[in-house]
Amino acid sequence: MRDAYADQLDGIRNDLIAMSRLVRAAVARATEALLNGDALLAERVISDDAAIDRTREQIEENSFELLSLQNPVAGDLRMLIAALRMVSEFERMGDLSVHVAKIARLRVPEVAVPKELEPTISRMATIAEVMVGRVEHIIADRDVEAARELEEADEEMDRLRRSSFRELLGADWAHGVEPAIDIALLGRYYERIADHAVSIARRVVFLVTGETIPMLDA
């Protein structure tokens, strides 16, 4: 019976890793659609979000089943509580990727990002994707040190967001209101993806050590 219980716990962890891979793919594809004005790829990101939602439902169902039937304690209880929180973070990252894809689709056949902002937005997107990839490793290896280090990447994201605002508010901005709104929203979306990644990493620290770290605002 305990072997089956351990297998179920491992299955939840593996599902979390699978969910992180789905989210990473969503971030990457949404960015590609954004920077290339690819409406078909944007549509794929939007439709594929259903798989992220289904994975959340599966993890929640399995976690609640173990909570109700196995009465877990200590580390196992922390694992299930953390999993229930993580799936919400992952689902939100998937939703944010959909928002990026919708901006890409809305501006086709044009590209939503002006040329001079491409380096900034592209770098923000890269950081977001890398952070989701690191979260996959952090969950798989329960790597507390890597979880703590993720905060540094988030700091670069914050600097880039501020830089994009300076561009929008500068006297040289010549692209009008709609592109300005797009860039402001895109910066927010990528920043929030990074924030959710940090929150997941902090939950892994809680899982492994029992140390409670304040979560970032949703």
Give the tokens for residue 147.
């979880």
For range 4-9, the mean pLDDT: 82
Q: What is the pLDDT of residues 73-112, one digit of tens each?
A: 777 888 888 899 999 999 999 999 999 999 999 999 999 9
Of 51, 67, 78, 69, the closest CA to residue 208 belongs to 78
Residue ranges and CATH numbers for the domains of the chain are 2-209 (1.20.58.220)
Q: How many CB atoms lie within 10 A of CB 194?
A: 27
- DSSP character string of 107-142: HTTS-SS-GGGHHHHHHHHHHHHHHHHHHHHHHHHT
More confident residue, 207 or 137: 137
* Cβ neighbours of residue 47 closer than 8 Å, sequence gap 6 or more: none
Q: What is the pTM (predicted TM-score) of this model? A: 0.91
